Amino acid sequence: MQKKFLITSSDIFAISSQKQFEKIALKVFRFQYENNLVYHEFCNFLKTDPHKVKSLQQIPFLPIQFFKSHEVVSNTNPIQETFTSSGTTGMITSKHLVTDVTLYEESYRKGFSQFYGNIEDYVVLALLPSYLEREGSSLIHMIDDLIQLSNQPESGFYLHNYDELIAKLIQLDQAGQNVILIGVTYALLDLIEKHTFQLENTIIMETGGMKGKRKEMIREELHQQLCEGFGVNAIHSEYGMTELLSQAYSLGEGIFECPSWMQVLVRDTEDALSYVREGKTGGINVIDLANINSCSFIATQDLGKKYPNGSFEVLGRFDHSDIRGCNLMVV
């Protein structure tokens, strides 16, 4: 039965046109409809006839909350890794059961090189305290691997040893070494409170937000503070989540671009099955074809808008309690 749905990783990662993307996405949809029990039931609940699904817009997107309550898998292979989301004590966290971790590794390695080139050109420094202090972080798995692949003895993780990190950043930058410092947002702010930098060869990449450690800020204000504190012109960002196996990157201004096997659609927040036009605010739906073994079609709880070239912006989050009165919709 599964034979005709066979989709290989080389099919996914070799996508180079919109037509190819749509063709493989529809194949993945049919495969997951047949083989993912949770997704199958969700599609049936929506009365979706898989034979009538002929475009991306007709594919049902599984609400991300299902990863908290169900086992979302599309095959019966043994689970190699379970990635979990961060959450405060007592919160139900998302679980992403990964049956083939090499797909994740291929996805972030190829995704990184699509945007930044060869990993060996960089020293990778990671300031990710909240992630390092727990088990099951897909981000730590990725950064740990990128640190190894950079092949640079200087690459590594920092926890709370800010003075050491400050000295290292200054030393590497002055030596003309390309550096990527990837940090959880609040920790980057902590760092620039201790020292003001003038960096010329360093990319600052923020991810993960405030984690309840600081007051939330609007992106423009946050990026301005970080630019001033590090002495750089732009702040890069990484957009990924436990439930995905791919990441989008922003090289500045909060505008994200996807690797060629990932796309976003923006749904109407009042009617989850319809879409808003480009430039309008709505809920972000992600297609991540690397997620072939779980679910490639996920309705997130992020708000955003999409631009004609396929790039997108993330404007915040909503939960179900404030969908109705969400004034952000009137953009």
- The per-residue pLDDT for 242 is 96
Q: Where are the domains of the chain?
A: 8-80+261-329, 102-239
pLDDT at position 3 over 90: no
Cα three-residue angle 20-278-297, rounded to 5 degrees: 45
Q: What proportion of the chain, given as a percentage, has pLDDT over 70?
A: 94
pLDDT at position 330 over 50: no
Structure tokens, 127: 């300031």
Provide mean pLDDT across the span 290-300. Answer: 98
Distance between CA atoms of residues 318 and 253, nearest Å: 22
- The per-residue pLDDT for 5 is 59
- The per-residue pLDDT for 319 is 65
- The per-residue pLDDT for 289 is 98
Q: In the CATH scheme, what is the code of domain 102-239?
A: 3.40.50
Provide mean pLDDT across the span 226-231. Answer: 98
> What is the per-residue pLDDT across 95-119, written as a single tens digit (0 to 9) for each?
999 999 999 999 999 999 999 999 9
- The per-residue pLDDT for 89 is 62
Distance between CA atoms of residues 228 and 234, nearest Å: 10
Distance between CA atoms of residues 180 and 155, nearest Å: 9
- The per-residue pLDDT for 322 is 40
Q: If we measure between CA atoms, which residue out of 286, 293, 299, 287 comes closest to residue 26?
A: 287
pLDDT at position 1 over 90: no
Provide mean pLDDT across the span 211-223. Answer: 90
pLDDT at position 130 over 90: no
* CATH class of the domain whose range is 8-80+261-329: mainly beta
Please determine whether the domains at 8-80+261-329 and 102-239 fall in the same fold group of CATH. no
Output 55 or 88, whichever has higher pLDDT: 55
The band of 326, judged by pLDDT with boundaries at 50, 70 and 90, is very low
